[in-house]
Amino acid sequence: MADWNERYLGEDYAFGTEPNEFVLSVAHHLPRKGKALDLATGEGRNGIFLAQHGLEAEGVDMSEVGLAKAARLAVEKGVSFVTRVADITAMAIPEAHYQVIASVFCHFPEPQRSDLARRIIEGLAPGGYFVGVYYHPEQVMLGTGGPSDPERLGTLREMVDTFEGLEWIVVEHVRREVREGSRHQGMSSLVHLLGRKPQEV
């Protein structure tokens, strides 16, 4: 965890202060009220955007330094944003609680990945939305951000299978230039997911 605290030191925001491009592009699908959870929120840019969208947003991360900066950014943006220090691989996610759960560049190897996916789906209220942004395994060769261990990355098919049970709105593997702070710069290989939990019958 010290590594992430070190990355977030300094006045600048490692990944910028604006939401991820995919999160921004799918915002029109998302509800404007209800509860939202941003996993691995870091310095808060995506969770704070969800709060600006009208949701009661909470950001969870293991870095106290990142969360402190997220709290400052929320004040600057004029929104309420709750932050919590927690280990995402072990924390409880209340069932059927959230209208939106976002996971942007939050990478785990198996079996943690599938376990977290199950808890995310369980944590969504019926009709709730999951927004996922992940690096594709070929990102390791590009070297423009993300984990260097390919075991932490999944192909489009693998990620879709991991989140089995959602109704898919967007599933895509794209290659594009990423310009997000100092940490994500250059051509990148990305998996984008937008899914909806089925309504209960």
Domain boundaries, the chain: 32-130+149-170
141 touches 147 (CB < 8 A):
no
Cα–Cα distance measured from residue 180 to residue 14, given in angstroms and rounded to the nearest whole number: 8
Instruction: Give how far Cα 56 sits from Cα of 40, 45, 49, 100, Å.
Output: 17, 15, 11, 10
pLDDT for 201 beyond 70? no
pLDDT exceeding 90 applies to what percent of the chain?
Answer: 85
Place of tokens 């594709």: 136
pLDDT for 111 beyond 70? yes
135 touches 143 (CB < 8 A):
no
Q: What torsion, rounded to 10 degrees, do the Cα atoms 28, 134, 2, 149 define?
A: 180
Cα–Cα distance measured from residue 149 to residue 164, given in angstroms and rounded to the nearest whole number: 24
> Picking from 1-15, 36-50, 140-154, which range would have the lowest pLDDT averaged per residue?
1-15
pLDDT at residue 182, rounded to an integer? 67
44 touches 23 (CB < 8 A):
no
What mean pLDDT value characterizes the chain? 94
CATH 3.30.70.260 fits domain 32-130+149-170: no
Regarding beta strands 167-180 and 184-196, do their DSSP bridges make them parallel or antiparallel, or are they unpaired?
antiparallel
Q: What is the pLDDT of residues 130-170, one digit of tens each?
A: 999 999 999 999 989 889 999 999 999 999 999 999 999 99
Residue 141, token pair as written in the block? 């060769």
Name the residue with higher pLDDT: 199 or 180.
199
Q: What is the pLDDT of residues 16-39, one digit of tens each?
A: 899 999 999 999 999 999 999 999
pLDDT at residue 1, rounded to an integer? 43
Q: Position 27: which residue type?
A: A
Q: Position 64: which residue type?
A: E
Cα–Cα distance measured from residue 122 to residue 91, given in angstroms and rounded to the nearest whole number: 13
Sheet strand arrangement including 81-85: 81-85, 56-61, 35-39, 98-104, 124-135, 184-196, 167-180
- Band the pLDDT of 180: cuts 50, 70, 90: confident
Region class of 151: left (phi > 0), else alpha (psi between -120 and 50), else beta = alpha
Q: Which 3-state string (H, E, C) describes 57-122?
A: EEEEECCHHHHHHHHHHHHHHCCCEEEEECCCCCCCCCCCCEEEEEEECCCCCCCHHHHHHHHHHH
